[in-house]
Structure 1
Amino acid sequence: MKKFRLVVCCVLAAALLAPGLAYSAAFSIFDQGAKAVAMGNAFVAQADDPTAVYYNPAGLTQLEGTQIAAGVAAIWPKAEFQASKKDAALGTYYGQVTKTNDDEFFIPNFYLTNKYNEKVAVGLGVYSNFGLSTDWPDNWPGQYCSGATYTRIKSYAINPVIAYQPWKFVSISAGFIANYMDAQMENNILMPGGVFGPDGHMKVEGDDWASGWNAGIMFYIQDEFRLGASYRSQLCHDLVGDITVTGNNLINMQSGGTLDINLPSVLQVGASWSKAPFTVEFDYQWTKWSNYNMLQLNVDSTGAVTEIDKNWDDAHAFRLGFAYNVVKNLDLRAGLAYEPEFVPNETLDLIVPNGDRWTWSCGFGGQYGKWVADFAYAYLYEDERSFDNEAGDVYNAATGVKVGRLVGEVQEVSAHILCLTVTRKF
């Protein structure tokens, strides 16, 4: 029985790590302020509202007095999988299409800023910059792949910052980030033929705090032209939690475990030109996903350590934003962003497969007295990807023998995003 349990644990570890935590990786959340979202998140050289705490804290020296902003981003993701190979063990047939269940998640954010004097400003941000909810049908052909029936990740960052303007033409800033991550993944465990009893169900949960930092700089070249840059450091999480298997007495178990994951550093640079009534900004964003080169899982009950190479490439995103001042205190905005795929075919997974990503956005903002309201809508679409690698391998949990591979195409990966930010000036 002990040997049997060890086989089961090794199979579970392999299943858990095969796709990794791509839901946080392929779905980084940059939607931290409605004004920025409406402009395709091309905002690092403007950063002229309290969301500058996230986008570029050097912009805080522009803000007068004390300002409080609160907002929410509502995201509705979806995806489809089309099987391209018949597999009796998985119940797939050529052309079979499975859609994710309808789901949504809401991401709040909060910012507080204060201009201490003519040269110094401080701020505090509370937001989520990694997260996802993916919900596939319980009995779909990919049900035995890790996290492929249900995955949800939540993260919250607490980010105090300080900005300093030594000369009229430049501002600099730095901040500390305390980041909390809570993850949950579920999938079924194959016990084929009924010989070993019914299929099992695996649930993995874990959480952790990690620390990092951010910094920014802004150059005021002239009244119309600005340059900005911001940097967010890598976050190293050691998720600690439980692995629970139920539904079959042979494999029922509960064990503690840890999962080590490195989230990437991010550099964003941009240029903004503004001449009434128009504003245009172009940004380039570099995300160091090569930090995400390996996952390591430690299973407490067996002492097993499993390492899986991910070997992701760095990501390069290009963002373009426009704003038009219609009348006093009313702006219309639009944006476009493009990010080529950065996950290799060998390590692509089902949780949120990464393809070439396009994002179209629009919105508006208005001010009434000391109140400001900004609204944005964005549509995100990723190109289809072929799926045929080890992340789709399915094993007999009783024997550890591979019984099949899920092969097909992930398509219609998209999301609708609505954002609202309300700011009060004091």
Structure 2
Amino acid sequence: MQHKYLPLIIAAAFSAISVSAQASGYRFGSQSVSGQGTADANGAEAADASTIFYNPAGLSRLDGTQISAGATVVVPHSTFSDAGSTHFTGQPAGGTAAKDYAPDSVTAPSLYVSKKLNDQWAVGLGLFVPYGAKLNYGDTWTGRYALSNIKLEAINLNPSVSWKLNEHHAFGFGIDAEYMKAELAQAVDVPGSVAALSSGPGAAQGALLIKQIAALGGNPALLRAVNDGHASNDGKDWGWGFNLGYMFTLDQNTRFGLAYRSSISHQLKGSTVWDFSKVTTDPIVNQVLQAASHKVNSAALVALRTPETLSANVFHQFDSKWAGMADVTFTRNNRMGDLDIQFPGTTEGAEVIRQQWKNTVRVSLGGNYAYNENLTLRAGVAYDESPVKNAELTHPALPDSDRMQYSVGANWKLSPRSSIDLAYSFLDFKDAKINYTNNCNPLMTTCTGNGETTRGTYKTHLSLLGFAYNYKF
């Protein structure tokens, strides 16, 4: 007999590469506090060293040596209402309501340094958080067979260079070194498996299981009230990519930008640990159940490519006080189809996570108002599509949906060389319905899966608070 339980949703955690932060999928949208103030419409502004992320060609506009160090605090609020989540047998999953699964806050840092070498060349270095997620539903909630907790962290080191051809044309290039790490966990549906083997086609296998327990001195009666097992996983990897930028300066007041950030290939390697020690109070029963399930601690492997992005943006200075800007960013999410989670060195069939993400577009508009010589005010609005197609392809690791972003910000000059940036954003998500069923169940031998169905609705909004310090040498 082989019981196949759903492994860690490692693919879902790594798949797109918060609750997600600002941009759709797992992409952490705020890599710059000055950019956050305009809802990231500032790709062609190149106001500080954070242009390394938005468009490295903008380095050509910066004088001397500049440093911008910032942090964005994400304050999420999310609720989940269950609408009939079930075991693979069709019986209610039971469990507790999802509560306080989003963290009180998450902080993501950023650091950018630029240096102008001469009239044509400039270099820079960026350090930022491209992706992030942190959710902890607990081990007893109704969707525990899909996911109990997830923590995804990524850091990108982005050395860049720009070359200014003349007063109108500038080009930029950067290399992306990306480190990704995740910790995930989920429940193992032992109660559903035992119930399925108590009658019908599985009764013979259930009887054999009872004989094995009795022969080893265990108490088969405990099978009437078994608890969930538990599985946990961690994985990490370095990946490499690049980004390109072009900036066309029409005149002193108007410029246009194009920026491309490549996909990054990851071979995520880690380990999977299965824990049946609390299924019953009898260690013998627990050992027999784990042996029958063929679940052994092992390595885990997922191959994936993060989506690439292409952005077009414009900046115009209307007069000495007012400036406007806009950005359109296309993200190629359709690289993320169904994902296979492999368990090297075991007989476990792969876990297939159905995603089939769609390509998305993000549109943002922003503006600056120079209140006086020392204070510039910012504001912006953006609409961001979710890559998730429908409720049947929505997973608890990413309860994503289309959202609106409303941002305000300010830059305050402390001295001719230093300034601070402040920003606040509110993100309003559409209700996200989930009706996800894993197509494999514990009695199948060719694949791995709990076969659970998670049904319900997520209601989410986020607040983002940003602070950065800038200095010019």
Query: TM-score if structure 2 supplies the norm length?
Result: 0.82
Change in Cα spacing, 1:273 to 1:137, as seen in structure 2 (3 Å) is: same
Residue 58 of structure 1 deviates from its aligned partner by 0.6
CA contact (8 A) 1:132 1:152 kept: yes
CA contact (8 A) 1:190 1:397 kept: no
Equivalence for 1:271:
314
Residue 119 of structure 1 deviates from its aligned partner by 0.7
Q: What are the residue-to-residue correspondences of 1:127-142 with 2, within 5 Å?
A: 127-142=128-143
Change in Cα spacing, 1:403 to 1:217, as seen in structure 2 (3 Å) is: closer
SS in structure 1 at match of 2:342: strand
Alignment partner of 1:340 is 2:385: yes
Query: Which structure: greater strand fraction?
Result: 1
Give 2:467's match in structure 1, choosing from 413, 416, 420: 420
Equivalence for 1:295:
339
CA contact (8 A) 1:26 1:353 kept: no
**Aligned pairs, how many?**
413
Residue 386 of structure 1 deviates from its aligned partner by 2.0
Equivalence for 2:436:
389
Alignment partner of 1:33 is 2:27: no
Change in Cα spacing, 1:174 to 1:12, as seen in structure 2 (3 Å) is: same
Distance 2:437 2:449 in 1: 14
**Residues 299-308 or 150-159, more deviating:** 299-308
Alignment partner of 1:195 is 2:220: no
Distance 2:137 2:403 in 1: 21
Residue 118 of structure 1 deviates from its aligned partner by 0.6
Q: What are the residue-to-residue correspondences of 1:219-298 with 2, within 5 Å?
A: 219-248=248-277, 249=287, 250-251=289-290, 253-274=296-317, 275-298=319-342
Structure label with greater radius of gyration: 2
Distance 1:401 1:177 in 2: 35
Distance 1:375 1:43 in 2: 15
Equivalence for 1:161:
160
Distance 1:283 1:43 in 2: 7
Residue 349 of structure 1 deviates from its aligned partner by 1.1
**Residues 283-292 or 343-352, more deviating:** 343-352
Distance 2:386 2:259 in 1: 23
Residue 187 of structure 1 deviates from its aligned partner by 1.3
Alignment partner of 1:405 is 2:406: no
Give 1:21's match in structure 2, choosing from 6, 14, 35: 14
Q: What are the residue-to-residue correspondences of 1:69-148 with 2, within 5 Å?
A: 69-85=68-84, 87=86, 88-91=91-94, 98-145=99-146, 148=147
Distance 2:269 2:141 in 1: 29
When the two chains are superposed, the root-mean-square deviation of aligned CA atoms in Å is: 2.4
Residue 298 of structure 1 deviates from its aligned partner by 1.3
> One-letter code of the match for 1:16?
I
**Residues 346-355 or 104-113, more deviating:** 346-355
> One-letter code of the match for 2:259?
S
> One-letter code of the match for 1:317?
R
Change in Cα spacing, 1:242 to 1:282, as seen in structure 2 (3 Å) is: same
SS in structure 1 at match of 2:36: helix
SS in structure 2 at match of 1:167: coil
CA contact (8 A) 1:48 1:60 kept: no
Distance 1:401 1:181 in 2: 25
Identity over aligned pairs, percent: 25
Equivalence for 2:242:
213
Change in Cα spacing, 1:402 to 1:424, as seen in structure 2 (3 Å) is: closer
Distance 1:111 1:317 in 2: 24
Residue 247 of structure 1 deviates from its aligned partner by 3.5
**Residues 194-203 or 209-218, more deviating:** 194-203
Distance 1:120 1:384 in 2: 48
> One-letter code of the match for 1:179?
E
**Residues 298-307 or 48-57, more deviating:** 298-307
> One-letter code of the match for 1:136?
Y
> One-letter code of the match for 1:134?
L
In structure 2, list runs of 5 or more residues that go unmatched: 18-23, 196-221, 278-286
Equivalence for 2:407:
361
Query: TM-score if structure 1 supplies the norm length?
Result: 0.90
CA contact (8 A) 1:72 1:421 kept: yes
